[in-house]
Amino acid sequence: MKRYALSIIFFLLTTSAAFAQTKTPVEGVWKIAERIVPGTHPLAKGVTITNTNPPSLIIFTRGHYSQVYLGSAESRTAVARAKDPQNLTDAEKIARFEQWRPLFANAGTYEIRGSTLSINPIVAKNANQMNGSHAVEFKLEGPNTLWLIPTADESTTEPRIKLTRVE
């Protein structure tokens, strides 16, 4: 009986170790350390923009991700309370739009094939982001630095993003 119990314990320990090894290299909690927007990006107006350490949080778990970050280095100011929240004035609508404009938020599933990371947003602040998957090349620099690099056909319009591990 003891031999049987020991073999079950050995089986459970070895299978749990095997499952632990299936963790992808991107799993964890990250923040954006640097965001490099090329000068040919529509919003860059001809100048390469490097945004260092913008507020951000990106989480990769087994097959799912969530990301929230500010895409602009502009400071954000609080918006005054609406006089009538059910009937906003044009000025109140514009103020709220401007406050939320730099925020990017989406979550969904991801898949890794070789050095390609494909994300498939399920929910996003911007509905256009939910129109299919988006692929980037990823490159690890040690265990705590991850680069997300646009594919060759998007390299002139999409930013290169350097992430550092939070957890």
At 16 the pLDDT is 45
In a domain, 106, yes or no: yes
Q: Is residue 2 part of a domain?
A: no
Q: Residue 99, SS3?
A: helix
CB 159 within 8 A of CB 37: yes
pTM recorded for the entire structure? 0.76
pLDDT value for 1: 54
Residue 88 pLDDT:
96
pLDDT in the model for residue 11: 45
Cβ–Cβ under 8 Å, residues 28 and 167: yes
- For residues 122 and 107, give the distance between their C-alpha atoms in angstroms, rounded to a whole number: 6
84 is a domain residue: no
Radius of gyration of the chain (CA): 21
Query: What is the per-residue pLDDT for 39?
Result: 80
Examine residue 121 and state whether it is found in any structural domain, yes or no: yes
39/137 Cα distance (integer angstroms): 20
For the chain, 167 residues long, give each residue's pLDDT as a single digit of tens: 555 544 444 444 444 444 455 788 899 999 999 988 888 776 666 677 787 888 999 999 999 999 999 877 666 778 889 999 999 999 999 999 988 888 999 999 999 999 999 999 999 998 888 888 899 999 999 999 999 999 988 888 888 999 999 98
**9 within some domain:** no
Report the domain count for the chain: 1
pLDDT of 75 reads 64
Q: Which domain holds residue 64?
A: 24-74+101-165
64: domain CATH number? 2.40.128.280
Buried-state track 13-27, b at ≥16 Cβ within 10 A, e below 16: eeeeeeeeeeeeebb
Check residue 4 and give its pLDDT: 52
Cβ proximity of 33 and 163 under 8 Å: yes
